[in-house]
Structure 1
Amino acid sequence: MSAPADGATRTVTRAEVEDLLFLEAELLDTWELDTWLTLYTEDSHYVVPATDTHDGDPSTDLVLIDDNRLRMTLRVERLNSRKAHREYPHSNLRHLVGNVRVGAAEGPSDDPEFPVRANFIVWRARNGKDVSFVGSYEYRLVERDGQLRIRSKRVMLDMTSLRPANDVAIIL
């Protein structure tokens, strides 16, 4: 992340953004969920809309997941425990992220947000069953303590049905 001396809007490079997204994918694949949570701001939001309403608003539409930071923390605690029967033992995962696009900074110049879009495939293997989740991500990134952090993540599934997966028990 670079901060221009003349007070102009900050910029981020695609390489910086890709490093963050690839780190997030690695942490999810290796089930380092406590460390994954540190990539998010304290006011973060994680949303997975229903497969038929990608632009659904969690306050008025049915969504699969609508987590603020507290709910994200509780999700991590549950997935790390043996009480998460759907994920104990843990699934084998591979998060593949591509087609990363970084938009221009938005918001106040002293705290800009960077909109990011990316495509993904998440492969999950558990109990002899392989399932793939396919879709796109929309992120809002900010700088905190000199590091890029995730303020929000929206996961739009391109699947017409969750039937092959049965559920979304993992973090996409």
Structure 2
Amino acid sequence: MTTHAVPAARAVPAAHAVDLDTLLRQHEVEQLYSYESALLDAHQYEEWVDLFTEDTHYFMPLRRTMTRRQLHLEFTKPGEMAYFDEDKQFLRTRAKKFATGTSWAEDPPSRTRHLITNVRVTGDSGDELVVQSNFLLYRTRLKSDTDQWVGRREDTLRRTENGLAIAKRFVYLDQTVLQSGNLSNFF
């Protein structure tokens, strides 16, 4: 009979040790993202827009294939061509249009699943958090249309009297060419 030695447990390096406040902050952020995903997947777009601050900036640049030396030019900048470059009023207008049933790209509505992972708080000024996360958005429409978008998000979350709100969201797709017929969804 062969036995396998179990490796000894390793202590977490001090640089990666986490205190209770850090765990609670991480939990608060992840709960916001879980709630946000549930709203989007249930087509509750107007409630989703309420998660954003009045001065929000929602931006999804184009991605271009570049050489290593030109990677700093891979994504377009605000003010340049983008899939989305919106404020809260524009988000609200899109959400209301979906609710009317007059948006041909969403009638019948898409079935979506928003998966958010690798959530990392990378900055904390007290009133605002800088958060990076990865996402997979799966969408199926009609009988057999399917689309997937994969990428990362860089958010600024602001503490308000109602909890955390999204003050800025930049969405960076991994794809350079989109195969979908439209972008009638939120990331």
Same fold flag (TM > 0.5): yes
Match of 2:158 in 1: 142
Match of 2:169 in 1: 153
Which of 1 and 2 has higher RCO (CA within 8 Å, sep 6+)? 1
Structure number with the higher helix fraction is 2
Match of 1:56 in 2: 76
Q: Quick one: which of 23, 26, 29 aligns to 1:17?
A: 29
Matched, 1:122 2:142: no
Matched, 1:70 2:122: no
* 8 Å CA contact 1:139, 1:150 repeated in 2: yes
Structure 2: any 5+ residue segments left out of the alignment? 1-20, 65-72
Matched, 1:41 2:53: yes
Taking structure 1 as the reference length, the TM-score comes to 0.85
Superposition misfits of 4+ residues, deviation over 3 angstroms: none
Query: Cα RMSD (Å) of the superposition?
Result: 1.7
Match of 2:102 in 1: 83
Percent of residue pairs identical: 30
- Which of these two proteins has the greater Rg computed from alpha carbons? 2
* 8 Å CA contact 2:61, 2:81 repeated in 1: yes
CA deviation after TM superposition for structure 1 residue 55, in Å? 4.3
Deviations 1:1-51 (A, max 9, x none): xxxxxxxxx976111100001111110000011111111111111111112
What is the number of residues matched between the two proteins?
Answer: 157
* Structure 1 stretch displaced more, 92-101 or 80-89: 80-89
- Distance, in Å, in 2 between the alignment partners of 1:71 and 1:146 is 22
Structure 1: any 5+ residue segments left out of the alignment? 1-9
* 8 Å CA contact 1:46, 1:68 repeated in 2: yes
